[in-house]
A and B are shown apart, each in its own frame.
Chain A
């Protein structure tokens, strides 16, 4: 890369030109990414409650905030919930997205309608989607419960306030909302696949199943990497529906990382603890992305 850059500058302009051109981006990253990260890290070593007059001025307390987190049952519950949420929604969304893409990638009459149907939830803002689902989930006569009953379900109906079902309910909404969006990437990937390998496979008499697993899927490996990274980040980031559906309840049963962070920062106004949470979140995201990347690179090499 550096070689290319040197060649480029030699031909095209002064040596500082590349720096100048990347300056705006670098500035944005510095101001909106690097600086807040440093700030969060710094503030996480302080005690600061905005709603307590005597603690409004930050006091250095070392690792106390991290200690609080480590011993907080609430935080442990949030971590557990978040793990279930991510491990549940991400693979499900990705698999569904792949299947949807396979399905709508055919030139069948009326496929436009199916594409629209799969993609439609994506266009809705999450809050609107969640509001619709709030009605779906209504006990006794909500669409969701009515549909479940039609296929023989007779369990509890108050999904959003049942401690064993609330998290599952918000996960269902997330998958419903996300799968169509991720489908787009797979669809683009599918339509860019080279046709010659498939022709060769046809000549060799490969079955449709073999072609799917031995050719299509491996060729879409990069797409899968991209899609799963996006899905993971989304799973950590998007909590709008929780505000509408459960407020993290009942008794914290559907509370996940970012919602908890919001509660600590804006409801409890505990800046130090919220900063520590932010640092933990960043570390988790870094770990996931690096693992994801290194793993897939190694496999590809």
Chain B
């Protein structure tokens, strides 16, 4: 009996062990999609000013005899048939480049793509040649040695320089590190203030141009238990908070190793967010976990304004039966505005044969041509990444019909840099923790931001 018990204990220990380990192993998979709800759409890039044939130009690997197959990992982060759209582009690309086969792998959200690539590379496997990952993840991806710089490819391309220059600088801001270019903007977005223009007109209000007028408009348009003046999601808060800080003259990111959380202007920005509910009673109280429901609330009239991603434009326009206004978030001083960019870029991965990387580069150039950049923007709501995309006839015709699409592009002049730094995952977790504590009234904003600064400084110390 005794011995039997020992055996049983040992067996059950093994069972527990294996379950615990299974838990550790399986954690990688479920995380991705939902963990990055904030990034919304991005805009596609258009090719530089030259005609769309540029990518097919045979300059690189002119007589590529051997067929190459590349994989592209790709997240679906917005409510648009991204898979279908991309497959159309791939078909066009393969027709133009019969030697290259492109295999798209749609693997959840941004987090999933990154985690999959991380585990593949760390496990010694071969990653895909190309992936769309968050522009803001630049430093972590480079420091972890997952991606290759693109400068050689750019140099080898005809008009490579002009190609890069054609992208909006606001979108290229997250591509450079250590004097090199590491990613090409693809699906990019900006934080957008959507307002119900019909309600504003009825109430005799102008679109807000300062914090004060924003708060007053929100207050005036609030009907208790029926309509919020404004909804401002904060379940994953840094992105939608940044326009407030920038609009007060102090972005929270200074350099890759320096964040600014405890500046009085940043604290004031957090206080303004809190005031919208506590002082003006125009916004749900505390942290708002409504990223998914806010666009619907706005479209059906349950919120007069929302702050959201530009990528939700398409969905909102489809549902709303009123005039939808879009604008950058007003700054503190009258006549100032602010927004911040977001979304994903193309990265070419390490540990992949050179010819696959070259094929990947060809594909990147192909789908970022003005023609496709414009089409992608029209079909998804992402902001087109290059100036020349807005010069295409298709885009001009679309903006004629949907002027908001053009206004989104114009907002880029107010765009500050998205929070992107060394040790981003850690720093962002710290900031979220304390910003939410301030929003929820667990700590005064000044104290919360001071603590966030201290912890973030410690997390960044190792990089100095």
Q: Which of B415-434 contact A (CB under 8 A)?
A: 422-423, 425-426, 428-429, 432-434
Q: A29-B18, A243-B31 are in contact. Are A263 and B425 (CB under 8 A)?
A: yes
Complex: how many Å from CA A271 to CA B304? 46
Are A266 and B115 in contact, with the CB atoms below 8 A? Answer: yes
Minimum CB–CB distance for A253 against chain B, Å:
9
Q: Is B293 an interface residue (CB 8 A)?
A: yes
Inter-chain contact A269/B28, CB cutoff 8 Å: no
For residue A199, CB closer than 8 A to chain B, the reply is no
Choice from A139, A244, A282 contacting B20 with Cβ under 8 Å: A282
Contact check, B14 vs A29: say whether CB atoms are below 8 A apart.
Answer: yes
Report how far A139 CA is from B288 CA in the complex, Å.
9
> What are 10 A-B contacts with C-beta separation under 8 Å?
A51-B423, A52-B422, A54-B462, A55-B462, A127-B30, A162-B440, A233-B23, A250-B286, A250-B436, A278-B24
CB distance from A136 to the nearest CB of B (A): 12
> What is the chain A residue whose CB lies nearest that of B438?
A251
Interface residues of B in 112-166 (CB under 8 A from A): 114-115, 118, 122, 139-140, 143-145
Q: How far is the CB of B167 from chain A (nearest CB, A)?
A: 26
Number of A residues with CB within 8 Å of any CB on chain B: 63
Nearest A residue to B14 via CB reads A29
Residue A281 lies at the interface, judged by CB distance under 8 Å to chain B: yes
Q: Interface centre among B5, B25, B236, B436, by most A CB within 10 Å? A: B436
Expressed in whole angstroms, the minimum distance between the Cβ of A267 and any Cβ of chain B is 3
Q: Which of A170-178, A183-191, A211-219, A289-297 contacts B (4 or more CB under 8 A)?
A: A289-297
B98 interfacial contact with A, CB 8 Å: no
The answer to whether A233 touches B4 (Cβ under 8 A) is no
B442 near A163 with CB under 8 A, answer yes
Known: A2-B3, A281-B24. 4 other contacts (CB 8 A): A127-B30, A249-B433, A263-B429, A282-B17
Q: Are B236 and A247 in contact, CB atoms less than 8 angstroms apart?
A: yes
Kindly state whether residue A90 has any CB partner on chain B within 8 Å.
no
Chain B binding surface SS class: helix
- Nearest CB of B to A257, in Å: 9
**CB atoms of B425 and A269 under 8 A apart:** yes
Docked complex Cα distance between A126 and B35 (Å): 15
Query: Pick the contact of B143 from A52, A126, A243, A265 — CB < 8 Å?
Result: A52
Q: Give chain A nearest CB distance to B293 CB in angstroms.
A: 5
Q: Does B80 contact A (CB under 8 A)?
A: no
Whether A37 pairs with B442 at a CB distance below 8 angstroms is no
Q: Complex formed: what's the CA distance from A70 to B463 in Å? A: 24
Tell me, yes or no, whether B19 is within 8 Å of chain A by CB: yes
Mark out the residues of chain A between 113 and 163 whose CB falls within 8 Å of any chain B CB in the assembled complex.
Answer: 126-127, 134-135, 137-140, 158, 160-163
Does B397 touch A at the CB level, under 8 Å?
A: no
Contact with A along B428-464 (1 / 0, CB 8 A): 1100111011011010000000000000000000110
Cβ–Cβ < 8 Å partners of B27 in chain A: 239, 258, 261-262, 265
Q: How far is the CA of A109 from the CA of B442 in the complex (A)?
A: 53
B103 proximal to A (CB < 8 A): no
Contact B287 A161 (CB under 8 A): yes
A246 engages B289 (CB within 8 Å): yes
Q: Check B302–A140 contact: CB distance below 8 A.
A: yes
State which of B3, B4, B8, B140 has its C-beta within 8 Å of the C-beta of A269.
B140
Q: Is the CB of B21 within 8 A of A36?
A: yes
**Contact indicator B24/A51 (Cβ below 8 Å):** no
Which of B31, B34, B143, B436 meets A249, CB within 8 Å? B436
Q: Which residues of A contact B33 (CB under 8 A)?
A: 127, 243
Are B434 and A251 in touch, CB under 8 angstroms?
yes
CB-defined contacts of B5 to chain A, threshold 8 Å: 297
| A58 sits at the interface (CB 8 A) | no
Report the Cα distance A36→B289, complex, angstroms. 37
Q: Which residue of A50, A53, A161, A233 is within 8 Å of B19 (Cβ)? A: A233
Chain A residues packing against B (C-beta within 8 Å): 1-2, 29, 32-34, 36-37, 40, 49-56, 126-127, 134-135, 137-140, 158, 160-163, 233, 236-237, 239-240, 243-244, 246-247, 249-252, 258, 261-263, 265-270, 278, 281-282, 285-286, 289-290, 293-294, 297
Chain A residues near B287 (CB, 8 Å)?
158, 161-162, 249-250
Query: For residue A32, which residues in chain B have a CB less than 8 angstroms away from its CB?
Result: 18, 21
How long is the Cα–Cα vector from A161 to B284 in the complex, in angstroms?
A: 11
B16 at the interface (CB under 8 A from A): yes
Q: Which residue of A lies closest to B1 (CB)?
A: A301
Interfacial chain A residues near B288, Cβ < 8 Å:
158, 161
A36 to B18, CA, bound (A): 10
Contact residues in B for A134 (Cβ distance below 8 Å): 292
Minimum CB–CB distance for B379 against chain A, Å: 25
Would you call A51 and B28 a contact (CB within 8 A)?
no
Q: What's the least CB distance linking B144 to chain A, in Å?
A: 5
Q: In the complex, what distance in Å separates the CA atom of A29 from the CA atom of B139?
A: 38
B107, CB-defined interface residue at 8 Å? no
Contacts A52-B463, A53-B143, A158-B289; is A247 near B21 (CB within 8 Å)? Answer: no
Name the A residues within 8 Å of B293 (CB-CB): 135, 138
Shortest beta-carbon distance, A31 to chain B, in Å? Answer: 11
* Contact between A247 and B34, CB atoms less than 8 A apart: yes
Over the window 279-312 of chain B, the binary record of Cβ atoms lying under 8 Å from chain A Cβ atoms (1 yes, 0 no) is 0000011111110110000000010000000000
Tell me, yes or no, whether B402 is within 8 Å of chain A by CB: no
Residues in B with CB closer than 8 Å to A135 are 293
- Whether, in the assembled complex, B235 has its beta carbon less than 8 Å from a beta carbon of chain A, the answer is yes
Q: Flag if B34 contacts A266 (CB, 8 Å).
A: no
Residues of B within 8 A of A161 (CB): 234-235, 286-289, 436, 440
Chain B, range 11-66, C-beta contacts under 8 Å to A: 12-28, 30-31, 33-35
List, in ascending order, chain A residues with CB within 8 A of B426's CB: 267-268, 270
